[in-house]
Structure 1
Amino acid sequence: MIRGPILHLWFIYTLLGLYIFLPLLSRFFTSATLKEKLWILSAWSIGASIMPAFKGFFGFPLIGIDMLYVPIYAGYMLAGAVLHETLQKFVGKKASLLLATVVWLIGLSMTIFLSWWKSIADSKYSMLFMDYNSPTVLISTLGAFAAIYLLPLNRNNNIFSKAPNYIGKQTLGIYLFHMIPLNIIAAIVRDNFLSINPWLYFLVVTFLTFITSVLIVSIIQRIPYLRAICP
Structure 2
Amino acid sequence: MTKSSFSTGMDTARVGACFMVIVLHVAAVNFSVFDDQWWASNFYDSLTRSCVPVFLMISGVLLLNKQEDLPAFFTKRFARVLPPLLFWSLFYMAWNTWQGRGYGDWPQWIKAVASGPVVFHLWYLYAILGIYLFVPLLRRVWASSQSSDKRIFLLLWMLVSGWPIVGAGFGLDSDFLLLSSATPVIGLMGYLFLGAYVYEIYQNKLPKAQYWWASAGLFVVFSVLTMVATFVYSRHVNAPDALFYDYLSPLVMAASVCIFNVLYGLGSKLRPYATALNRISACTLGVYCIHIFVMDRFEAMTGLLRSGQSSWWSIPFTASLVFVVSLSVIMVLRRFRPFIHVT
Structure 2 residue 320 is the aligned partner of structure 1 residue 214: no
Could you tell me the TM-score, scaled by structure 1's length? 0.78
| Cα RMSD for the two superposed structures | 3.2
Counterpart position of 2:240: 125
What is the alpha-carbon distance in structure 2 between the residues aligned to residue 201 and residue 119 of structure 1? 23
What is the alpha-carbon distance in structure 2 between the residues aligned to residue 204 and residue 135 of structure 1? 30
Among residues 168, 172, 187, which one is paired with 1:72 in the alignment? 187
Q: CA deviation at 1:9?
A: 1.6
What is the alpha-carbon distance in structure 1 between the residues aligned to residue 258 and residue 299 of structure 2? 26
Question: Any conservation in 1 of the 2:305–2:315 contact (CA below 8 Å)?
Answer: no
Structure 2 residue 157 is the aligned partner of structure 1 residue 40: no
What is the alpha-carbon distance in structure 1 between the residues aligned to residue 215 and residue 276 of structure 2? 19
The AA in structure 2 aligned to 1:179 is: I
* More deviation, 4-13/116-125: 116-125
Alignment of 1:1-231 (within 5 A): 2=96, 3=101, 5-49=118-162, 51-61=163-173, 66-68=179-181, 71-90=186-205, 93-153=208-268, 156-158=271-273, 161-162=274-275, 164-183=277-296, 188-193=303-308, 196-197=311-312, 206-223=319-336, 225-230=338-343
TM-aligned CA distance change 1:189 to 1:149, over 3 Å: same
Question: Any conservation in 2 of the 1:174–1:217 contact (CA below 8 Å)?
Answer: yes
Q: Number of residue pairs matched? A: 225
Question: Any conservation in 1 of the 2:223–2:252 contact (CA below 8 Å)?
Answer: yes
Post-superposition CA distance 1:117-153 (Å, at most 9, x none): 5445434332212222122222222211111122253
Q: CA deviation at 1:85?
A: 1.2
Q: CA deviation at 1:164?
A: 4.5
Query: Which of structures 1 and 2 has the larger relative contact order (alpha carbons within 8 angstroms, sep 6+)?
Result: 2
Q: CA deviation at 1:97?
A: 1.2
Post-superposition CA distance 1:170-191 (Å, at most 9, x none): 3322322232344556784431
- 2:168 aligns to what SS in structure 1? helix
Report sequence identity in percent: 24
TM-aligned CA distance change 1:214 to 1:11, over 3 Å: same
Bigger helix fraction = 2
Structure 2: tracts of 5 or more residues without a match: 1-94, 104-117
What is the alpha-carbon distance in structure 2 between the residues aligned to residue 191 and residue 78 of structure 1? 40
The runs of 4+ residues in structure 1 deviating greater than 6 Å are none
Question: Any conservation in 2 of the 1:173–1:229 contact (CA below 8 Å)?
Answer: yes
